[in-house]
């Protein structure tokens, strides 16, 4: 295995069919990829897939996680494999085979995750908020969707056999999905205490903030500084939150604009 192949992680979200999980694992093995994560798979399907022919090497190493954030871990680039349909205008969208070149270039020196949704529902808006951009497979308009195992095979083939690293596609060093997640988790309480987020802000605001943090494209040293700043602000706000509101409501935060 080449080092760049070891840098790709395939993530299956809420997979339900053991044949698809086994086919995905076998396709990864066909093209030299071994890092598989399964997020909330249907338990019976995952256990059955372990006996899939040709998939043992990958499935033996596969890890199951409760959340997509946990599965992404140290991946610096997170790409969703999705047709998106009506949602495509909200995300940067690249199409095979050119999209594979961008992934292959990143894999030369850094880790990336390729995320696939469930057979029935695909990727949710919350799943997509973890992703930097979307990779689409050009299919016939008469039959746009693909079987999960086949989609993994096509993407792995394009990255391993047809793609090549290109200097024009190189990007500056950034931070992993895990670091971005920790920044968001530090930021959310600050925004709640300050009044920017409503108490019942819900998942929509969190998704928008997650995408905002990702779009910052922070360099590692900038991320460390931002985390230190946020921790200090969080501490200060928590100290002040115990101070009674002054007469006339001067200490009460003004109504925050909607995200």
The rounded percent of the chain whose pLDDT value lies above 90 is 56
Give the neighbor-by-neighbor strand order of the sheet with 35-39: 63-65, 35-39, 8-13, 112-116, 77-81, 133-136, 93-95
User: Among the residues of the chain, which ranges form H helices?
Assistant: 3-6, 18-30, 43-49, 56-59, 68-72, 98-107, 125-128, 148-157, 177-194, 202-215, 220-240
Model confidence over 34-89: pLDDT tens digits? 999 999 998 776 777 765 677 888 998 999 999 999 999 999 999 999 875 545 45
Distance CA 199, CA 192 (A): 7
| pLDDT tens profile 102-112 | 999 999 999 99
**Rounded Cα gap, residues 212 and 87, in angstroms:** 17
Asked if residue 94 lies in contact with residue 134, where contact means CB atoms within 8 angstroms, the answer is yes
pTM, two decimals, is 0.84
Residue in 67, 68, 54 with CA at minimum distance from that of residue 25 = 54
CATH of 177-240, one of 1.10.8.590, 1.10.3660.10, 3.40.50.300, 3.40.50.1000: 1.10.8.590
CATH of 3-169, one of 3.90.1720.10, 3.30.70.1140, 3.40.1280.10, 3.20.20.450: 3.40.1280.10
Q: What residue segments make up the domains of the chain, in order of their start? A: 3-169, 177-240
The answer to whether the beta carbons of residues 36 and 64 sit under 8 Å apart is no
Residue 139: other Cβ atoms inside 10 A: 14
pLDDT digits (tens, 9 = 90+) for 114-168: 999 998 888 999 999 999 999 999 988 888 788 999 999 999 999 999 898 888 8
């Amino acid at each position: 295995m080449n080092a760049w192949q070891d840098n790709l992680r395939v993530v299956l979200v809420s997979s339900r069919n053991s044949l698809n999980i086994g086919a995905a694992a076998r396709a990864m093995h066909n093209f030299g990829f071994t890092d598989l994560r399964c997020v909330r798979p249907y338990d019976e399907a995952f256990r059955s897939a372990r006996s899939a022919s040709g998939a043992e090497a990958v499935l033996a190493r596969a890890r199951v996680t409760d959340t997509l954030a946990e599965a992404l871990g140290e991946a610096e680039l997170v790409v969703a494999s999705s047709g998106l349909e009506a949602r495509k205008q909200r995300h940067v969208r690249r199409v095979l085979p050119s999209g594979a070149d961008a992934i292959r270039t990143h894999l030369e020196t850094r880790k990336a995750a390729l995320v696939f949704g469930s057979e029935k529902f695909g990727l949710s808006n919350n799943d997509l908020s973890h992703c930097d951009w979307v990779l689409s497979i050009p299919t016939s308009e008469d039959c746009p969707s693909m079987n999960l195992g086949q989609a993994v095979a096509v993407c792995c083939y394009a990255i391993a056999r047809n793609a090549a690293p290109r200097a024009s596609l190189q990007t500056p060093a950034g931070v992993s999905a895990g670091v971005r997640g920790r920044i968001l988790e530090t930021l959310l309480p600050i925004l709640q205490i300050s009044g920017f987020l409503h108490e019942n802000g819900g998942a929509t605001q969190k998704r928008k903030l997650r995408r905002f943090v990702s779009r910052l494209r922070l360099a590692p040293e900038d991320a460390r500084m931002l985390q230190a700043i946020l921790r200090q602000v969080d501490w200060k706000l928590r100290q002040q939150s115990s101070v009674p509101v002054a007469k006339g409501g001067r200490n009460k935060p003004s109504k925050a604009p909607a995200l």
